[in-house]
Amino acid sequence: MAWFLRVLLLLLSGLTSVAPLFCYTCVFPTHSPTDCIRFPVKCPPDQLCLTSRAVGHRGEVRVELWERSCVLASMCGQTGQKHTMGLNFTFTNTCCRTNLCNHNAPTTSRAPPPHRGLGPLTLLWVCYGLIAHL
C-alpha cells in the first residue's frame, strides 16, 4: 500500500504544470489607459501581466504614458524616477497574475521598492518623437 501512495504522489506531482498566462500588450505606449490598442499575448512561464504608468515633467509640460505587457516578476511593484531626454519621469509598475487581468488601469497604488528603470517601450516612445513635439 505504501508503494501505491508513493507512485500516486509521484504521478500527481507531474500534473501540476503551470498553464500559460495571457496578458494584454499595447501596440504603442499611450497617453491614456483607455487608448491602448491592446491585444492578448501568451507570456513566457515566468512572467506576469504588467500595467505601467510613467509621468514625465519638463517645466510646465506634463506627459503621461501607459503601457501593458508581460514582465518578469522582479519588475512588479517597482516605482521610481528616471531622467531621460530632458524629462523627469516617475513611473509605477503594477502586476497581476490572472488571464487578461491588465485590461484596466490599476485602482490602487502601492509603495514598492526603488526603481530599476523605465520599460523599453516607454524609453523608445520618449526617444522617437515625444521631445520633438514639446
CATH of the domain at 116: 2.10.60.10
pLDDT at 97 over 90: yes
- Split at pLDDT 50, 70, 90, the class of 27 is confident
Domains contained in the chain, number? 1
pLDDT at 51 over 70: yes
Question: Which residue shows C-alpha cell 530632458?
Answer: 86
Q: What is the pLDDT of residue 116?
A: 38
Q: Is 70 inside a domain boundary?
A: yes
Q: Is 11 inside a domain boundary?
A: no
Q: Is 5 inside a domain boundary?
A: no
pLDDT at 71 over 90: yes
Indicate the pairing of strand 47-58 with strand 87-96: antiparallel
Q: What is the pLDDT of residue 108?
A: 44
Q: What is the pLDDT of residue 53?
A: 93
Q: What is the pLDDT of residue 48?
A: 97
Q: What is the pLDDT of residue 1?
A: 55
Q: What is the pLDDT of residue 118?
A: 44
Q: Is 14 inside a domain boundary?
A: no
Q: Is 6 inside a domain boundary?
A: no
Q: What is the pLDDT of residue 61?
A: 87
For residue 11, give Cα distances in angstroms to 1, 6, 29, 49: 16, 9, 45, 30
Q: Specify the DSSP class assigned to residue 33.
A: T
The C-alpha atoms of residue 82 and residue 117 are separated, in whole angstroms, by 7
What's the domain range around 42?
20-133
Tell me the whole-structure pTM to 2 decimals.
0.64
Q: Is 80 inside a domain boundary?
A: yes
Q: Is 60 inside a domain boundary?
A: yes
